[in-house]
Structure 1
Amino acid sequence: MRQPSFTLWLTVVLATQGLSVAADETRPGQPGTVAAADRVACSLQPKNEEPSDPSSTSAIPHAEKFVAREHFKEDIASSAPVRISWLGATFAQRFTNKIEDDSGGASLQTFILSAASSDKEILAKLGQSHESRLADVWCALRRQPSGSNGPLEVNARPNVFYVRDSAGELGAVDVLWGGVGWEIGASPVGDKPRWPGGTRVFSR
């Protein structure tokens, strides 16, 4: 006769614990799902033209075009410009054939998700400045080629950039430090809350 009461009590306890976990995940953030963090300056100019400001960096040699396949390659050797341990099939298919015009340096705004969010929710918060380029992704990677601390998260949380592929379609490019190298994937923009709290998002 007391079993239903015990079951109800257990259900209430588990539900309360679940709410507590959810609250802990969102506590560090500000109201809303996207909280602004630091701005990162990246330059495409050669090193001898770099400003002395340590927040700026030369991401790639100055060139008329940024050819993605010349930079995004699986290579974890210590001599690699960026240690990349894995390129996802979707990224390889949609992005490595892309060639971008060199438009000089970029200033990237970083954001931290305070709760699990979908691509569409993030894009709505970021507004018109949500897009980045593959050159921007490379710039960020060049700052932390071996997984050192910096603007990109290196604690198993993803870093997300919204970039147009070689066909002009917007996609989500995610960069994750895997311990021996960077893992780079890509996926279509969706409406499911797949990016966990703590994910770092970059935009122009």
Structure 2
Amino acid sequence: MAVISCRLRGAPIIRCLGLNPSLVPVLLIWVVSATAEESRADDGRSSLVVPDVRIECSLKRKAGELLETEAFVARERYQEDITPTAKVRISWLGATFMHRYAVKVETEGDPSLQTYILRNPSSAVDISRELGARDETRLANVWCLLRLQANGESGALQTNSAPNIFFVRDGLGDLGVVDVLWGGAGWEIGASPIGNQRTWPPGTRVFSHGADKRM
């Protein structure tokens, strides 16, 4: 880069920066390269999850319907039961889920959920970081969706081999992952700490209260 003297009539000499012609191709290559790297970084960040449908599910009473209960007591709802009279056919509840989540008592909260499809294999930490502050849901949200698909019917929850995951705080207030999978005989429900090294596969459906994922 060269320094060029520029004189304006009636004014002192001003030192201006000028480009050496021989450096122009080099600078252009650098700019294009930097732009490409930034684009690749943006693509990698934005391709983790893909927004899907937005849904609403509420346990509150509607016209002609009975309210289940005001408080949502997890232990009363989440029980292994695959009999024809079960409110939700649940064939398996993981030990971690029972230890960390069955003790919870909640109110329903926000019935509106945004769904996403996981595009790349990712950890729970990476998914939560991208979704942002409103990634959290409640056990009541999970139960409401299960009630709509009590026997494995089609709906917001996937019933193929791909899991459905929710970020829910446990009985101690720690954020963790609740995963729901249809196993044929009934729903299989597990849980794991958010810092667990497990990698969730592409096609996993993620449920969040957030309207848009963090960019």
| TM-score between the two structures when normalised by the length of structure 2 | 0.72
Q: Does 1:63 align with 2:78?
A: no
Match of 1:24 in 2: none
Tell me how large the CA RMSD over aligned residues is: 1.8
Give 1:49 deviation, angstroms: 6.2
Whole-angstrom distance in 2 between the partners of 1:173 and 1:161? 5
Q: Paired residues, what number?
A: 165
CA contact (8 A) 1:117 1:192 kept: no
Give 1:143 deviation, angstroms: 1.1
Whole-angstrom distance in 1 between the partners of 2:174 and 2:52? 27
Whole-angstrom distance in 2 between the partners of 1:135 and 1:102? 5
Match of 2:203 in 1: 198
Q: Which amino acid aligns with 1:154?
A: T
Match of 1:40 in 2: 55
CA contact (8 A) 2:108 2:138 kept: no
More strand by share: 2
Equivalent residues in 2 for 1:100-139 (5 A)? 100-103=106-109, 106-139=111-144
Whole-angstrom distance in 2 between the partners of 1:80 and 1:171? 27
What is the aligned counterpart of 2:157 among 152, 158, 180? Answer: 152
Distance 1:125 1:178, change over 3 A: same
Match of 2:15 in 1: none
Whole-angstrom distance in 1 between the partners of 2:206 and 2:114? 8
Structure 2 gaps of 5+ residues are 1-44, 210-215
Q: Which amino acid aligns with 1:91?
A: F
Structure 1 gaps of 5+ residues are 1-29, 51-59
Whole-angstrom distance in 1 between the partners of 2:131 and 2:76? 30
| TM-score between the two structures when normalised by the length of structure 1 | 0.76
Larger CA Rg, structure 1 vs 2? 2
Match of 2:173 in 1: 168
Percent of residue pairs bearing the same amino acid type: 53
Give a deviation string over 1:119-167, Cα, whole Å, max 9, x none: 1110111111100000000011111101111111111111000000000
Match of 1:73 in 2: 79
Q: Does 1:185 align with 2:190?
A: yes
Q: Does 1:143 align with 2:148?
A: yes
CA contact (8 A) 2:164 2:179 kept: yes
Match of 1:89 in 2: 95
Aligned to 1:179, the other structure's residue is in SS state coil
Give 1:63 deviation, angstroms: 2.9
Whole-angstrom distance in 1 between the partners of 2:180 and 2:137? 13
Whole-angstrom distance in 1 between the partners of 2:197 and 2:172? 23
Give 1:45 deviation, angstroms: 1.5
Give 1:170 deviation, angstroms: 0.4
